């Protein structure tokens, strides 16, 4: 991907997207679930409807796939498998959203797509059409999708047109802030699979712009202007990380950068892109959260800090921290790249859904 980018043959993320194509499977229904590709609010979605006769109204999940806002598809093998299992085992309607991707569509377009689908689905008439219990709907996502799920949950609370309240938010190894890209987890897991630090920096910067100036500033962690320094209180890891995750790192405070980048690309200071920047008052009314973090993951500290801030705001949180796992570990649940840790994480996730959705 890097070579193709340097030679001008193909944008870095476009060549990375070939992974998505290789993982894409043909749409098929089975004896348990009817699967269709359709649109909700003019956004493509893959819809999973259980065939089992409902015992009353069904549960529902609106799911946002990962891939750094640049990659991924609801039709990838893992996402299809997960959605089928949730639909079949929980007798739930699953809406897996194919939001538009960067670099073709920068922030806020991916967020607006997933928000539009969620708001549309939460209408009484739509929930009734699919036999969904309005009191048992959640949003969920992994990695960049976890970012989108957290942002959607926050935004719904400020939308007077939305009457239905979410039952839960599920955030699987989520990316939650673009302010401090030198957290202990970023430094300790600099070159670990599947998400080295510089790739995550590339994902973050491409979410906002393809201007290499922002990418370079983010890589140096010098992209936040001094006038936005007050936001660092929300991502101060010396306060929000437990001691065992701080390691030998000593918090030194932010190093500020040029105000020009923030003026040109203000998205990285927006809570819709960095949900950890939300005030305590905005966090307080949020629905219960399930947060999965992995020890060997640059995004570990994002999820840990959000779990801490939600708890401090009075939000019920189930925080599952996997000390032996890496970013995206749950995807390795299928042959030929099948790992026992993926089955363990997926089973724990399913158990929580059974009990809390």
**Would residue 143 show up in a list of annotated catalytic residues for this protein?**
yes
* Options 83, 96, 143, 185, the catalytic residue: 143
Residue entry with tokens 């920096």? 201
Helix (H, G, I), strand (E, B), or coil: what is residue 167? coil
Helix (H, G, I), strand (E, B), or coil: what is residue 65? coil
Contacts of 32 (CB under 8 A, 6+ apart): 50, 51, 52, 84, 87, 88
The CA distances from residue 339 to 274, 333, 335, in Å, are: 31, 6, 9
Q: Which residues pair with 203 in a beta bridge?
A: none
Q: What pairing do the DSSP bridges indicate for beta strands 43-50 and 92-97?
A: antiparallel
ω before 108 within 30° of 0 (cis)?
yes
**Would residue 190 show up in a list of annotated catalytic residues for this protein?**
no
Going by the DSSP 8-state scheme, the letter that residue 233 receives in this structure is: G
Residue 86 to residue 89: CA distance in whole angstroms = 5
The CA distances from residue 150 to 4, 130, 193, in Å, are: 34, 24, 24
Q: What pairing do the DSSP bridges indicate for beta strands 43-50 and 58-64?
A: unpaired
**Would residue 96 show up in a list of annotated catalytic residues for this protein?**
no
* Options 73, 297, 301, 302, the catalytic residue: 297
Catalytic residues: 143, 297, 327
């Amino acid at each position: 991907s890097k070579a193709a980018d340097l030679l001008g043959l193909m944008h870095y993320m476009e060549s990375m997207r070939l992974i998505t194509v290789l993982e894409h499977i043909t749409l098929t229904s089975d004896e348990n679930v009817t699967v269709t590709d359709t649109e909700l609010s003019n956004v493509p979605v893959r819809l999973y409807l259980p065939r089992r006769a409902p015992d009353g109204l069904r549960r529902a999940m609106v799911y946002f796939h990962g891939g750094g806002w640049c990659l991924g598809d609801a039709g990838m093998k893992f996402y299809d498998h997960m959605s089928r299992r949730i639909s079949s085992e929980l007798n739930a309607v699953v809406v897996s959203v194919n939001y538009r991707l960067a670099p073709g569509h920068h922030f806020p377009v991916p967020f607006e797509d997933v928000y539009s689908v969620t708001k549309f689905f939460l209408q009484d008439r739509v929930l009734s059409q699919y036999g969904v219990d309005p009191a048992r709907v959640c949003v969920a996502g992994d990695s960049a999708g976890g970012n989108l799920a957290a942002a959607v949950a926050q935004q719904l609370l400020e939308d007077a047109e939305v009457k239905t309240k979410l039952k839960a938010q599920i955030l699987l190894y989520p990316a939650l802030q673009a302010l401090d890209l030198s957290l202990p987890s970023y430094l300790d897991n600099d070159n670990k699979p599947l998400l080295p630090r510089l790739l995550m920096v590339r994902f973050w910067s491409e979410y906002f712009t393809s201007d290499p100036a922002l990418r370079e500033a983010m890589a140096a962690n010098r992209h936040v202007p001094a006038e936005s320094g007050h936001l660092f209180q929300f991502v101060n890891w010396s306060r929000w990380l437990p001691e065992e995750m701080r390691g030998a790192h000593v918090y030194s405070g932010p190093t500020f950068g040029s105000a020009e980048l923030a003026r040109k690309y203000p998205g990285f200071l927006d809570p819709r892109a960095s949900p950890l920047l939300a005030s305590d008052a905005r966090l307080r009314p949020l629905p219960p959260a399930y947060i999965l973090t992995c020890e060997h993951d640059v995004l570990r500290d994002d999820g840990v800090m959000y779990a801490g801030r939600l708890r401090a705001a009075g939000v019920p949180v189930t925080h599952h921290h996997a000390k032996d796992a890496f970013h995206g570990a749950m995807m390795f649940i299928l042959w030929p790249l099948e790992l026992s840790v993926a089955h363990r994480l997926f089973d724990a996730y399913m158990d929580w859904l059974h009990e809390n959705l």
